[in-house]
Every structure is written in C-alpha cells, then in structure tokens.
Structure 1
C-alpha cells in the first residue's frame, strides 16, 4: 500500500514538473514573439517615416514631413514651397536679399549667398533633413547625397514640372497640383479680359541687361508660358521659337510688336539708358504708342507666387483696375 501511494506521488510530481516546464517554455516563447513583433513594428515605423522620391539623378529616401528644408537654386522655387504652406529653413539670396515677391513670406529664413559653387560644409552646418537643389549643383549632390536626403530638380522649360517636384519633395504633391489648377482657372479669366481689350495685338517680353537685350521667345521658359500659354496673348512676329535670345540694340529692328512687356530687373544704368533713349527703341510701334508696360515682378515667373502676382499686374497694366 505504501509502495502504491509512493508511485502515485512520483507520477503527480512528474506531471507538476512537466507543467511548470511547459509554462516556462510558453512564457519564454511569448516573450520572444513579443520582442520580435516589437522589432517588426519599429521597422515598419521607420519605413513609414520616409518615402521614396524619384529625381533627376535617381531616388532619395525623404522624411515624410521634413522640417528643415534647404533649397539651392538660381530660380525662385522657394515660392513653390511657400505656395503649399511650407517655409524653407534656408535659401539663396541675391546680395543677401530674397526675391521681391517673397520678401514677407521668407522673413526669418536663413539667407545663403548666390554662388555657382557651394561649400558642402556650409550646408552640413545647417543640419537639414532635406536638401533640394538644381542640376547646376551636381558636385554638391555627389558629396552630400549619402548623408543628407537630396532631391535634384532640372531647371527646364516647364515651370509646372519643377514646381510639382519641389512640392513632392516636401510631401505636398497634392497641394502643389491644386495650386496649378487654381492658377490656370484664374489665368484663363484674366486672359479673356485682356483679349476683350486688345484683341489680336501682338506682344513681346524683353529684359535689358547690362550689355545686351534679352528677347524672350514663345516656349521653354516660364515667362513665355505665362504670356502665350496661360494668358494666350498673340506673340510678335519673328520671336524665337525657343526660350529666347540675347541681342544688341540694332537687333531690335526685326521685332515690331504692338506691346512690349519690360521685365528688366534693374531699370537704370548707362546701357539701359542707351537702349531706351536710342533711335531703334523709340521707332518701335509699342514705344511710339506708349504701350511699353514695365513690370515689377521680374524674377522669371518660375514659382506660383510670382506668377499670380504677375497675372494681376499684367491685367492692371493692360485692362486697368
């Protein structure tokens, strides 16, 4: 009888030990699974914190919502950022001054000097979480792309492509597209009002530089698309079919538009005076009929902010208040 009881005791003891052992194993497995799930969640969060942006030189893993954007370009893409509600951390400024149409919007932004070559160390010091640069700065891309998310945009003929790529890099592609759509609607209405006033009278845009005159063409430049695509004005005869050409004073004789839109940045100086006071200029129909319209928006119309201001200014000059 004692032996029988002892045998059952041994069996119960073994069962208890087995149960404890199994419980420990189950707990251990549970902890391992929990740890593995935690790691997986962390990985998923890391993936979710960035997105892939294709650009001119490949792809960049860009933060979902970059907070310190440094933008380097000789055209005013910072206006694209502003138009979608993003204030850049640093942009280039000519003589330490931002484009006139963005002075208020860029208040407090770090101003970087205009230069064809940029010291990468100066960019690193800014500690950006996103760098947007034009294709002019390929050497900078080669030096920094491995450590700073960098999106390269080609300065092309279509301002919309540039604008959308800048907006996409900032995580605002949908907003960037909406900006274009709203502007197209406004431009169509303004263009119709201008057409009602001037009919098929012809237009030419010029910029008088320090040593020559820039005559804008009909395509491949943001200014050209503003005039002839957005507003659908009639181009003067003999305008270049491309983005434009630089000519001498004498070269003006082959153009004789009804209207001249003067987008000169500096409306003064010896050369400017020699052009506007010269015989060739003053024999143009637009000049004789006092149809030279001087714009204050003269940054090239590469961004939505200036384009909108330009549309309004052109409307006021041609149609009136």
Structure 2
C-alpha cells in the first residue's frame, strides 16, 4: 500500500511540474510575441514618419520638412508666394506692404494672413501662428537661428536667377517636379511671344526703367528677374550701354547716355513730384523712345520674381507691342 501511495505521489508531482513548465513556455512565447509586435509596430511608425517628411538642402544646411505642409509661412521681400501658388499650394501667411499683397497676387492670396514687412521679425509672433513649415529669405538668419530647432525652416538666398529661387521654394513644399514644369511652360510661351515681337520690331533696342522717389533705376543685362524676362526669355535686343549687371540708379541727367528705341516702364508709383520732373523734363523728352511714343508702361511692376507675375507680364507686353 505504501508503495502504491508513493508511486501516485511521484506521478502527481510529475504532472504538476510538466504543467508548470508548459505554462512558463507559453508565457515566455507570449511575451516574445508581444515584444515582436511592439518592435514591428515601432519600425512601422518610423517608416511612416519617414514617408511623411522630406529632406531639403538649403542655404544654411538641411531641414526635414512635411511632405504635404498645411500651414506654410513665407517671409521674403520678393514675391515667392507666387511660386507656391503656381504649384497649387496656398500659403497660410506672407508679408504684405501696408496689409496689401502684391497687385498681381491679390486674387490668388484671398484669405491668406498678411504679415507686416520688416527687416527684423519677432520670433514669438511666428510661433503663435503655429506653422508646420517656414520658408524665409537669407536676410532673416537671426530668425532661422531662433526657430529652426522647433519649426522646419528652409532658407532661400535672394539671387539673380529667379528660377533657382522658384525651384527651392517649390521643393520645400514637395512640389519640385511641378515647379520645373512651370518654368518649362513659361519658357515655351515666352519664346513664342518673343519671336512674334522680333518679327515686328526687328533689332530695335529696349531698356527697362523705374522712376523712384529720388532717382531712376535703369535695369541691366543680368542678375535680375526683369532683365532675364526681357533679354533671355523674350530675346529682345538691349539698348547700348546698359549695365552689365542687375542695374544702376542714376540722376535725370544720367538718362542722356541711353537712347533706346523702346522703354519698358516698370515704375511702381506713376505719380509724384520727382516722377513729374522726369517725365516732363527735357532729357526724358529728347529720348528716341519718348519722341516715337514707344514708352510702354506696365501694370505688373513687382520685379517678375515669381511665375504668376512673369506670365502676366508676358501677356501685357504681348498686348502692348503686338496688340494681341
């Protein structure tokens, strides 16, 4: 009897031991499965994060920016917001003179928050707007130093080639290929318009001017969006003696050394004491273009730094010179 009880006790202990091992094995397997799932989910989240951002190289380094930003703030004294609009991105906030947007973008920027033009920007005002992308010109480096750690920021250098600026701005919002197409379409349109103008005017010479409050800006051959519009895109013949750069500011008397057949007038304010002094003065009225009534005053006068204004400028020049 004792032997039977001993055998039963041993058998019972064996069953309990095996069952315990099985539970521990199941528990260990379950923990491993859970950890595996957690690791898998973590990897998935990381991939998802990577897919939601792009890396953009810019003037001061690199920035990880949202692939599809919803609140873009753009701070620049030239109208890069037109580049955003041209690729279907409406900015959240941009700078505006006296609360007014550039004339050629008033309709396109309806509902956009205007920010005051200033050489120095209070970073706290930008933080309050809670942007998910900040695009700024190189004059705002202090702002970059203060905000780039917390707000994705792309810095664009204001240069002589509007295309480089345009492409960097469109790249920042994940629309680089669309930005390239905008340039290609503009070049095709400008080549056709320029060809038609040349057929009409031949080698007659052109010069662009803007009459400021105290002096006259004569635009040059390169390093400015206005110059590239006239002499690269449209292939017009430049007047002799134009500055071999973005331009120069001169006095009324300085006009005498230029004598173009056509003047493209891109004056922003066509009024005022100095403006009247210039346009009613002897030097101005002795120019060939003035005598032949070939002063072409444009309403698009923001500098042609963005594709929206460039296209509107092309259409206006086409209408003035070709009557189309």
**TM-score of the two chains, using structure 1 as the length reference:** 0.97
**Secondary structure of 2:232's aligned partner:** helix
**Secondary structure of 1:92's aligned partner:** strand
Match of 2:264 in 1: 261
CA distance in 1, matches of 2:129, 2:16: 69
Matched, 1:80 2:59: no
CA distance in 2, matches of 1:131, 1:193: 41
User: Which runs of structure 2 are paired with 1:144-293 in the superposition (5 Å)?
Assistant: 144-293=147-296
List gaps (5 residues or longer) in structure 1.
none
2:97 aligned to 94, 97, 101, which one?
94
1:264 Cα deviation (Å)? 0.2
User: Which runs of structure 2 are paired with 1:16-165 in the superposition (5 Å)?
Assistant: 16-165=19-168
**Secondary structure of 2:303's aligned partner:** coil
1:268 Cα deviation (Å)? 0.5
Match of 2:307 in 1: 304
1:274 Cα deviation (Å)? 0.6
List gaps (5 residues or longer) in structure 2.
none
The worse-fitting range, judged by mean Cα deviation, of 145-154 and 3-12 is: 3-12
**Secondary structure of 2:56's aligned partner:** strand
**TM-score of the two chains, using structure 2 as the length reference:** 0.96
**Secondary structure of 1:197's aligned partner:** helix
CA distance in 2, matches of 1:307, 1:153: 20
CA distance in 2, matches of 1:39, 1:305: 44
**Secondary structure of 2:89's aligned partner:** coil
Aligned Cα RMSD in Å? 1.3
- List per-residue Cα deviations over 1:239-280 (Å, max 9, x = no partner): 001000000000011111110000000000110011111111
- List per-residue Cα deviations over 1:125-163 (Å, max 9, x = no partner): 111111111111111111111111111110000000000
**Secondary structure of 1:191's aligned partner:** helix
1:6 Cα deviation (Å)? 5.6
Structure 1 moving runs of 4+ over 6 Å: none
1:283 Cα deviation (Å)? 0.7
Tell me the matched-pair count. 321
CA distance in 1, matches of 2:236, 2:162: 18
- List per-residue Cα deviations over 1:159-207 (Å, max 9, x = no partner): 0000011101111111111111111111111111111111111100000
